[in-house]
Amino acid sequence: MWLSNALHWGRTRLRCSNKKHAMIQSFKGMIPVIHPSSYIHPSAVVIGHVTIGKDCYIGPGAVLRGDWGKVEIADGCNVQENCVLHMFPGKSVVLKTGAHVGHGASIHGANLGRETLVGMNSVIMDDVELGDGCIVGALSFLKAGSVWAERGLIVGNPAKRIKEVSDEMYNHKVEGTALYRRLPQDMKNHSDEVVPLTEVVENRVEDFPNFDTWMNRSNK
């Protein structure tokens, strides 16, 4: 049974191994620039004046709209599933090196400093200046024009800085982002569109990274 399923999986994998490309669109002659080391998921959308640096990961369902202004993403950034990067006319979105944008977040005309982290489903509004090393908790709202000094832990709606990011917390963030820096190459080398198996097979592959949550690490 296991062998027959494995053979079936191999055949279907070969039939479906043609990789799809993301939806990359020009707008009024503005064409996205994407470094070849970066990975853009096939369901992501990249439009217009968008620049993506080295070793960046753009996840499923992410939308990067450079139609009304620039979207500039530096090396080693990640924009995860269902995030939106956009702006009011004439504004820009800037992600500096190592910026980390969690699942479902919206960045609207804001500037994110080096090694910042924006938690899941947070909203960062126009002209926000998020200092280097800041961490924004999930579901936070940073109002337009707000300026946040570096290494702040920022949470809530409306958002407040509750303390400074410790060296231990900062290092944990950097280590987590490093996983995403490696993910583009892993996706290119080890990901294919396949027909799913119809049942769980014996000795199914399990190959996951080993990384503690901040809660687990801080409680040790």
Looking at this protein, which amino acid is placed at residue 127? Answer: D
Question: 213 lies in a domain?
Answer: yes
Contacts of 55 (CB under 8 A, 6+ apart): 35, 37, 38, 75, 76, 181, 184, 185
Give the pair of three-digit tokens for residue 68. Answer: 């009304």
Question: 164 lies in a domain?
Answer: yes
E strands, the chain, in order = 23-25, 33-34, 39-40, 45-52, 57-58, 63-73, 78-79, 84-86, 93-95, 100-101, 106-108, 111-112, 117-118, 123-124, 129-130, 135-136, 141-142, 147-148, 152-155, 160-164
Q: How far is CA 91 from CA 68, 70, 120, 146, 190, in A?
A: 7, 7, 23, 15, 37
Question: 204 lies in a domain?
Answer: yes
Number of domains in the chain: 1
Which residue pairs from 76-83 have beta carbons closer than 8 angstroms and sit at least 24 positions apart in sequence? 76/177, 76/181, 77/53, 77/101, 78/177, 78/180, 78/181, 78/183, 80/104, 80/105, 83/59, 83/107
Q: Note the pLDDT of residue 15.
A: 39
Question: 8 lies in a domain?
Answer: no
Question: 10 lies in a domain?
Answer: no
User: pLDDT tens digits, the chain, 220 residues: what are they?
Assistant: 443 444 444 444 433 344 677 899 999 999 999 999 999 999 999 999 999 999 999 999 999 999 999 999 999 999 999 999 999 999 999 999 999 999 999 999 999 999 999 999 999 999 999 999 999 999 999 999 999 999 999 999 999 999 999 999 999 999 999 999 999 999 999 999 999 999 999 999 999 999 988 888 788 7
Question: 81 lies in a domain?
Answer: yes
Taking residue 75's Cβ as centre, other Cβ atoms within 10 Å add up to 16
Q: Note the pLDDT of residue 214.
A: 80
* Residue range of the domain that includes 108: 20-220
Looking at this protein, which amino acid is placed at residue 115? Answer: E
Question: 7 lies in a domain?
Answer: no
Whichever domain contains 219, its CATH number is 2.160.10.10
Question: 105 lies in a domain?
Answer: yes
What does residue 217 show for φ and ψ, rounded to 5 degrees? -70, -40
The pTM assigned to this predicted structure is 0.89
Q: Note the pLDDT of residue 22.
A: 82
DSSP 8-state secondary structure symbol assigned to residue 30: B
